[in-house]
Each structure stands twice: as structure tokens, then as C-alpha cells.
Amino acid sequence: MSTRLEAVLNRIDDANSADPNVEQDGLQEAPAALLYGQRMSNVLAGFETGAGELLQIAVRGQHIERWKRPRKDYPQGRVGYLEWRRDAARYHAVRVGELMRLEGYSDEECERVGVLIRKKGIKSDAEAQTLEDVACLVFMRWYFSPFASARPADELFRIVEKTARKMSSAGRDAALQLPLPAELVPAITGGE
């Protein structure tokens, strides 16, 4: 790992360490944003062993300081949700770019990471697709169960199906290795 990559990942972690929301990780508690970013990096390392430096930064910083832009500040419903997601992605891209510049990354490198964080070109940009796959895998592995407990089975199936459609075939294959309920496997495989 290059010195500047390590430095910018540390800056992202330092920023995310300020998250007032705490999450249990095994026997320890950790700031939720810090834990999410580290989980993203760990999944990336296992999913795409040759990931480039800029993709590694985008993956770690995808939700940097997410608590500063809470969903509750936007209207309920799909329109409000999409506005929140768009605004958050812009903020995350700008914030990570600021930290990258402090470590000597060029404007072009910062812009590329911003494109990845904003997930521009999923399905046509291999790195953007990898980031999306990793985000979906992290969701399914660590955040799915609490999310699922508050939803009826048919809604849950549709959500998993929609998530799987955003993933590459390699991402779906990796998802099938996760401990998901058997009744949701057809949502990932498309009924194969």
C-alpha cells in the first residue's frame, strides 16, 4: 500500500470516527460510519484482489460522514429518498476529494474517485460496478437481518431482487455464499 493511500484511508477513518452513532461489532462498539467503511474495504479485498488505489479510496469513503446528511431531513417517499441519495453522494465525493488533495492526489484522481462514489456508469464502468457489488455484499452480510425484520416477506423478496439486479454476475455469485434465508436465493438467481 502506498504511503499516500494509507494516509488518505486514515483521514477517512478519522473523519468517520466522529460518527455519534455506535454499532456493535462482535464484543466491541464502534462508530457506525467507521465500521461501515472498514467493512467495505475488507469485502473489496476479498472480492477484487487487484483493486486499484482509486477504487480502494472510493470504497472506503463511499459513505464518509453519512450522519451529517440524515435521511430524516428529506421528505418521505421515493422522491425524497432519491434526493437524499443524490445529495449524499455529491457530499461524499466532494469530502473524499478534499482529503485526497491533502495527500497530493491530482484533480483528475479526485474526480475519478468522485465518479465512482456517485456510481456513475454502473454496468459500463468496471470499477463503479465493483463498488456497487461491494456495497450490496456489505449490506447483505451485515445490515440485511435488522432491515429484514421490519418488512413482510413479499416486500423483502422484491428488495433483494432489485439489489441483485444492480450486481454483476460475480457479485451475485458472492452473494450466494452469504448466510441468507433459502427463500431469498431465487431473488438473487432470478429463479435459475
Rounded mean pLDDT of 114-120? 95
Q: What is the mean pLDDT of the chain?
A: 93
What pTM was estimated for this model as a whole?
0.93
The pLDDT, as a whole number, for residue 167 is 96
Q: Tell me: the pLDDT tens digits for 139-183?
A: 999 988 777 777 888 888 888 999 999 999 999 999 999 988 888
Q: Is residue 192's pLDDT more than 60?
A: no
Residue 44: predicted pLDDT:
98
The whole-number pLDDT of residue 161 equals 93
pLDDT the model gives residue 183: 86
Task: Say how far apart CA 29 and CA 11 lie, in whole Å.
Answer: 20
pLDDT score of 64: 98
Per-residue model confidence (pLDDT) at position 94: 98
Q: Where are the alpha helices (DSSP H) in the chain?
A: 3-16, 32-47, 53-61, 77-102, 107-117, 126-138, 144-148, 153-166, 169-175, 185-189
User: Which residues sit opposite 25 in a β-bridge?
Assistant: 28
The pLDDT value recorded for residue 25 is 85
Q: Is the model's pLDDT at 46 over the cut of 70? A: yes
